[in-house]
Structure 1
Amino acid sequence: MNHKQHRFSVFIKPIVFGIDISIIVSVIFLFPLRITNLYIFIAYSIFFWSLIAFKIGFYSIQRSTKMIGIVRLVFLQMSFYAFILYAFIGFFKQPSISRSYLAFYFGTSFALVFIFKLLTYLLLLKYRAVFKGNIRKVVVIGKNSKSNQLIKIFKERLDFGYELSKQFNTRSEGFSLDDCFNYILDHKVDKIYFSISELSNSQVNKLVSFADNNLRELKFIPDNKEVFTKKLKYEYYDYIPILSLREIPLDEPVNKIIKRVFDVVFSLLIIVFVLSWLTPLIAILIKLESKGPVFFKQYRNGFSHSEFECFKFRSMAVNENANVVQATKNDMRITKVGKFIRKTSIDELPQFFNVFLGHMSVVGPRPHMISHTTMYSKKVDKFMVRHLVKPGITGLAQVSGFRGEIETDNDIVNRVRFDIFYVENWSLLMDIKIVIQTFVNAIKGEDKAY
C-alpha cells in the first residue's frame, strides 16, 4: 500500500537546511576573522544554527504559510544567531577576532539566507501553481459555507498545491462513510478535510480510525462544537481555520537529521567495533551446527508500510514456515546456537546494516512480518500509525515488557499503545534512554527472549 504521490518534497526541507549550512560556513572564508581555531567555530556555528532552527521551527513551513511568516522566521533565526556569534568571542576567549569582519560575516550570511529563503518559497509557489508539481490530492467531507470556502481556496490558490478530488455531501441520500473510505483508497487521496458539524461523534471516531489505520492525513474544519482529542494545531488557509489531529516530531527536518546522524554514527560503531570480529565467530558456530546460510533475510514492513529485507543471524534450522510462523517458547526449530544468540539478542545485530542503509532506525517500533502486519492492521485499531516512522532494532514497547512472542491480544494492543506514544513524543533523549535500557535488559536477560 504505497498511496503517497509526488513525495519528492520530503527532500526539500533537508536540502534547504543543507544549503543554509553551506552558506553560513562558506561565508566564513570570505573575511579575515582571525579565529584561533576555525574548525571549532564552524562546528559551533552549525550546532547552534541547527538548535535555533529546531526551537523556532525555521524549516517547519507549511503550504499555507504567508510571506510575512517567512520574513518573521528569517529575522528571528538571524537575531538568535547574531547573539550566538558574539557569545563565541567570550566563551572561547578570542581576543584577536575581528569584530567588524564578524559583523560583515553576519550581514552577508543574513542577506544570502534571506534571499535564498524567499526564492525557495516563491519558486515552490510557482512550481505548484504553473507546473502542477508537488500536488496533494484531497477530499472534503461536508457541504456548508466553511467547507465551500475551503474548496474555493483550493481552486483559487493553486500555489497551495492541493487538488480537490471530491466533495462528499453528508446530507445527501445514501451518504456512507464507507463509500468515502473506498473512494479515498481507490483514488490514492493524501488528505481528508471534514466539517465537524456534519458528522456525529461515532462517525468522527470512525473517520479518525480510518485515517490512522491507512496513514492518511486528517484535517478538521472546526465549528462551535468542542473537539475532544489530543494536541490540536491550528493552521489558516487564508482566513479559514483548519485543525490538525496529530503532530509527528520526526516530520520536522531538523529532528530527522538529528535522528539520522545518531543512527549512522551508532550503527557504524557497532559495525566496525562489534560485527567486524563477531560475525566470523557467529558464522562458524552456525555453520558447524546446521546447514544453511549464516544470515536470515525476511521481508518486513517499514516506513510508510514499504517493504524491506530485514537481516538477522540465522537462529533456526532452515524451514518453510520461517516467514509465516513466529518463534515460540521451546520452539523445536531453534538451534542450540540460535537459543544463545536469541537470548542475548545477538541475532538482531545484523540489523545495524539495515540502519546504516536507511531501512531502519536504532530505536523505533519493531517491524513485523508481512503476514502479521496484514493480520494486525485489520485486528488492532491504529496499528498502522506505527509506520509513520522508521522501524527500530529496539523500541519503547520492547523495553516496557512487550517484546518477543505475541501470546494474547493484550500483548499486541499494548505494544501498539507504546509504539504510538513513541511516534507522537519522540526525542533524542528518549532514544538514548531506550538504548541504555535495552543494553541493561540484554545483560539481565528477559523472559520472552527466546
Structure 2
Amino acid sequence: MEYIAVLIAEKLSLVIQHNLPGMNGQFYISDLYFYGIIPLVFIFFLYYTKVNERFILYWETLQRTFYAVLYSEIFCVVLLYLFKTSNYVSRAYVVIFFAMAFICLCISRQFLIKTCRRLNLMKEAVVFIGAGKTTQKIIDFTRNNNCFGINVAGLFDETPKIKDITEKYHIFRDLEETKDYIQRYKIRTVIIAVPSMEKERLLNLIEDLQPIVRNLMFVPNIVGMPVFNLEVKRLYENNMVLLGIKNNLAKKTNRRIKRVFDIVFSLATMVIILPVSIIVMIGIMIESPGASPIFKHYRVGKSGKLFPCYKFRSMVQ
C-alpha cells in the first residue's frame, strides 16, 4: 500500500509541476529512481519510524509519517546529488512531492485500516495477563482509535472481576495453560495489564513469558501521572529506565505562541457569540429593569494575582 501511495504522489507531483506557470522546461527522472529507489527509500523510513504500530494515537501517526517523508526526501536528494542527476530534477517538484507524499501516505493508511477493520483482517492475536479495568481500557483503545485492531486470544486471571470480559473472552485456568496456548498457536504479543502487581511476581512473569513471545508489554503502576508528554529514557549500562515529563510551556517561544493563539481564538469566539450575548443582555434588562446585566467579581489568577471577571447577572439582589 505504501508503494502505491508513493507512486501516486510522484505522478501527482509531476502533473502539478508541469502545469505550474514557468515550469515548461525539461524534466527527467529515471525509471529506476521513479519506480524503484524512491518508493523503497520511503518504505524503509516508514518502517524505521514505526508508523504502522498498533498501539499508537492518530496524531502520533501523522507525526511519524511527517518525519518519515522528511527523512526520505533528504535521503533521495542526497542520492541524486551523489549520482549527479540533480540537474535534471526540479526543485519545485521536490517541494510538491513532499506535500503529496505526506497526504497520500496518510490517506492510504486510513484506507487500509478502515478496509482491514471491515473485513476483519490484519488483527494480531494477543494474550492478556489480567482481566480487569486496565485490560478493558486497552481493548477499547484499539477499537476506538485509528490503528490496526487486535484479536483477544484469551486472558489469564486467577480472580477475574469484570463480568463483560469473562463472558466474552476465554479465561485460562493457570499460567501453564496460558504458556501452552501461546506456544501452540504461536502468539506473538502478550500484555501484562495488572499495574498493581507485585514487583517479584511481575519479574517472574516476564522471565517465564519473554522466551516464548516476540512482544511482551506490561502496564507500569503510574496511575494519576500525566502521560501526554511522557518520554522514556533507557540507561542500558545501569539497567534503568527514566520516565520524563516534558513541559512545553517552559520555553518562552512556546508560551508566546500559546498567548497569540489564545488571543486570536478568543477574538474569533467573541465574534461568533456576540449576537447571542446581546440577546441574553437584552433579556436580562427586560426582566430586571434598571439593574446592570453584567456582574463583576474578582478571581485568583496566575501567581496569586486577582483579576476582574465579568459575567451575566443571574441573581437578583
Q: Which has the larger radius of gyration?
A: 2
TM score, norm. by length of structure 2: 0.48
The alignment's TM-score, normalised by the length of structure 1, stands at 0.36
